[in-house]
């Protein structure tokens, strides 16, 4: 009965004891009396498995829906919801929950008490934080959080070992990070200083002005253990997008002291060590303030 302009469902619905799927999306449901009274006591409450009420006008999740204990799929996307009721935890059989395209600002910790939940869609809302309790959703395979207001993720989310998809695009967590990136190429003085240090060019205090001698004494070792180069003023940064469990996926900026750092033909890279293992070793050798990671998935 989708797209039919429905403003309410009659009591006739209660006389369908074997109804398995009810699709009533893109209607005008949401006002008083949209759902028939007594829905939670009707046989339908035990038989219904799939309910799609997306694209309607609900400003809150109807309490009667939270009594449909047999539900496995509930879609309320594109409504006017401002929150998720804690009683959502009563839907123990729920495997798929779609609440995207609403005005939800917070996720209740009780949502983590859905043991069968595999797909959770909360995209296109106004969510600012993720409760760490969400890590208790051990069955979760897909978590869609794109286009929200997230600035960080709780570390506990790493415990979602079965998670295959984590969508975070369109959040300040990602957008602000990329927008603020700057790339400052090294100066000619720095390039000359690097050459002197890496090639061991001999010099004495009598050969150079005191300021340059002092400058050369400020050389720092490149954090890449496979490089052995140096740098001075230019910030050394390794920035990579990583998935939810910490494995590298996509380099965003590999700006170190010299091209040899990332060259596949460098002597250090000719070892039989796999790329993922090399990345892990590099990360372990880099000081925390020189390594940045963006959790993406």
Per residue in 138-175, pLDDT (tens digit) is 999 999 999 999 988 888 887 888 888 888 888 888 77
Q: Is the pLDDT of residue 23 over 70?
A: yes
The rounded Cα 271 to chain-centroid distance in angstroms is 34
Task: Determine contact, residues 99/121, Cβ cutoff 8 Å.
Answer: yes
Predicted confidence at residue 183, as pLDDT, reads: 60
Closest CA to 198 of 176, 173, 174, 228: 228
Q: What's the rounded Cα separation, in Å, for the pair 275 and 265?
A: 14
Q: Is the pLDDT of residue 95 over 80?
A: yes
Q: What's the rounded Cα separation, in Å, for the pair 31 and 242?
A: 44
User: What is the pLDDT confidence band of residue 279, given thresholds at 50, 70 and 90?
Assistant: very low
Six-digit token string for 247: 């494995």
CA distances from 143 to 181, 236, 237 (A): 27, 34, 30
Predicted confidence at residue 123, as pLDDT, reads: 95
Q: What's the rounded Cα separation, in Å, for the pair 287 and 215?
A: 22
- Strand, coil or helix: what is 56? coil
HSE, side-chain direction, 13 A CA sphere, residue 222: 22
Give me the residue label for tokens 């929150």: 83
Q: Is the pLDDT of residue 29 over 80?
A: yes
Name residues whose C-beta falls within 8 Å of residue 293's C-beta, 6 or more positions apart in sequence: 239, 240, 241, 242, 246
* DSSP per position, 34-52: SS-TTGGGSTHHHH--EEE
Looking at the DSSP bridge assignments, the partners of residue 237 are 255
Closest CA to 76 of 98, 50, 95, 105: 98
- Strand, coil or helix: what is 231? strand
Domains of the chain (ranges; CATH) run 11-169 (3.80.10.10), 185-234 (no CATH)
Six-digit token string for 239: 């920035």
Q: Which residues of 212-241 are buried (b: 16+ CB within 10 A; e: fewer)?
A: beebbeebeebbbebbbbbbbebebbbbbb
pLDDT in tens, 189-205: 988 988 898 889 999 98
Task: Determine contact, residues 74/98, Cβ cutoff 8 Å.
Answer: yes
- Strand, coil or helix: what is 95? coil
HSE, side-chain direction, 13 A CA sphere, residue 52: 11
């Amino acid at each position: 009965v989708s797209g039919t302009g429905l403003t309410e469902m009659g009591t006739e619905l209660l006389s369908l004891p074997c109804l398995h799927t009810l699709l009533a999306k893109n209607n005008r449901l949401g006002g008083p009396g949209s759902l028939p009274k007594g829905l939670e006591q009707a046989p339908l409450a035990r038989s219904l498995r799939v309910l799609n009420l997306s694209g309607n006008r609900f400003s809150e999740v109807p309490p009667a829906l939270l009594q449909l204990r047999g539900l496995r799929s509930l879609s309320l996307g594109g409504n006017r919801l401002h929150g998720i009721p804690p009683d959502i935890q009563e839907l123990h059989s729920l495997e798929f929950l779609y609440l995207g395209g609403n005005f939800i600002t917070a996720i209740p910790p009780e949502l983590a008490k859905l043991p069968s939940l595999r797909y959770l869609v909360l995209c296109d809302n106004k969510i600012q934080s993720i409760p760490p309790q969400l890590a208790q959703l051990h069955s979760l395979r897909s978590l869609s959080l794109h286009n929200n207001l997230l600035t960080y993720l709780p570390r506990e989310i790493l415990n979602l070992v079965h998670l295959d998809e984590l969508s975070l695009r369109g959040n300040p967590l990602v957008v602000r990070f990329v927008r603020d990136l700057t790339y400052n190429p090294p100066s000619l003085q720095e390039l000359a200083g690097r050459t002197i240090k890496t090639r061991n060019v001999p010099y004495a205090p009598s050969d150079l002005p005191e300021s340059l001698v002092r400058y050369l004494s400020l050389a720092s070792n490149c954090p890449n253990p496979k490089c052995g180069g140096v740098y001075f003023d230019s910030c050394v940064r390794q920035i990579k997008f990583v998935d939810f469990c910490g494995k590298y996926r996509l380099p965003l900026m590999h700006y170190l002291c010299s091209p040899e750092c990332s060259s596949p033909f460098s002597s250090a890279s000719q070892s039989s060590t796999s790329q993922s293992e090399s990345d892990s070793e590099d990360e372990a050798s880099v000081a925390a303030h020189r390594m940045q990671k963006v959790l993406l998935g």
